[in-house]
Amino acid sequence: MRSDSEAGKRGYLRERFRLFHLKDSDAPAFDFHYHDFDKIIFQLGGRVTYNVEGRSYFLKPYDLLLVGRNMIHCPTIDPSEPYERMVLWVGSGELAAHSTADCQLETCFHLAEQRHFHLLRPRGEDRLRYRDLFERLESALSDQAFGGELLAEICLLQLLIAVNRDVLPEPAADDAAYRFDPKMEEVTRFIGEHLGEDLSIDRLSGEFYLSRYYLMHRFKEVYGITTHQYIRQKRLLRAAEEIRRGTPVLKAAMEAGFNDYSAFLRAFQTAYGMSPREWR
């Protein structure tokens, strides 16, 4: 589906939402990847550094990491301790179905993206409150008695409301909790705002007064993939979103920055396993 050094789609959500409770003792290796659904990771144990769009978060037990759809991310796991976590996948349709005009459940993911800060670190009793919310959801999902499915929906909503309430105030940034490169964030912000334009290394290095070698080397070091791979992936994601909204395929490809339509079709088929028309 992709080369090992390139971000690709990982995991398919066919249900409205899904919860995993995972514990690994062998420190599995993950490639950089993305999802077309939103994800919350609840850290329970282990030493993990999670890279989300170039920011590295040093997770502690009871931390929550909010990874919105199409965010390129990857964990690096220290094998000295078992890695235990609960991972919630939620489809956008599920969030929209339970949102109201003054209560948009996607708000927490949007704010995380806007602030470039995806970590929620509960304090004191709130740590156990989140563990209880996740465990209630886990229990409800295995409940075969009357109303079990409805109970799981209720538990999901309680959890999402709690996360949104805690994310709404701007969190106090703990410098020891994460690391990032401000210059590389400027580069990726520029890329996101100019996807339909020329984004060659020559242009980027000129815009930011960096040598071509330094830009390519540092970008790969921070993001785990090359500048070219990052730009192509973001263009594919932009085109896929537009196609899903009903934009004609050719127009979506051109506006996302693909000047060669046949190259776009090949890249799309490789990334999504289907043609753009099948995707729509």
Domain annotation for the chain: domains and CATH numbers: 8-177 (2.60.120.280), 181-279 (1.10.10.60)
Whether 186 shows a pLDDT value over 50: the answer reads yes
Q: What string of DSSP letters covers 229-257?
A: HHHHHHHHHHHHHHHHTT--HHHHHHHTT
Task: State how beta strands 47-52 and 119-120 pair.
Answer: unpaired
Residues in the chain: 280
Distance CA 31, CA 34 (A): 10
Distance CA 42, CA 63 (A): 6
Geometric angle at alpha carbon 72, from 240 and 58, rounded to 5°:
160
Identify each DSSP E strand in 137-242 by its residue range: 178-179
Which pLDDT belongs to residue 85?
96
Which pLDDT belongs to residue 92?
84
In which band, very low, low, confident or very high, does the pLDDT at 158 lie, cut at 50, 70 and 90?
very high
First to last CA, the chain: 20
Are residues 184 and 216 in contact, defined by beta-carbon separation less than 8 angstroms?
A: no
- 38 forms beta bridges with 90
Whether 34 shows a pLDDT value over 90: the answer reads no
Report, in this order, helix, strand and coil percent for the chain, each rounded to 5. 45, 20, 35
Whether 108 shows a pLDDT value over 90: the answer reads yes
Identify each DSSP E strand in the chain by its residue range: 8-9, 17-24, 33-34, 38-45, 47-52, 55-59, 64-67, 73-78, 83-90, 119-120, 178-179
Query: 206-254: per-residue pLDDT in tens?
Result: 999 999 999 999 999 888 889 998 999 899 989 988 998 889 999 999 9
Which pLDDT belongs to residue 7?
61
Lowest-confidence region among 3-7, 146-150, 222-226: 3-7
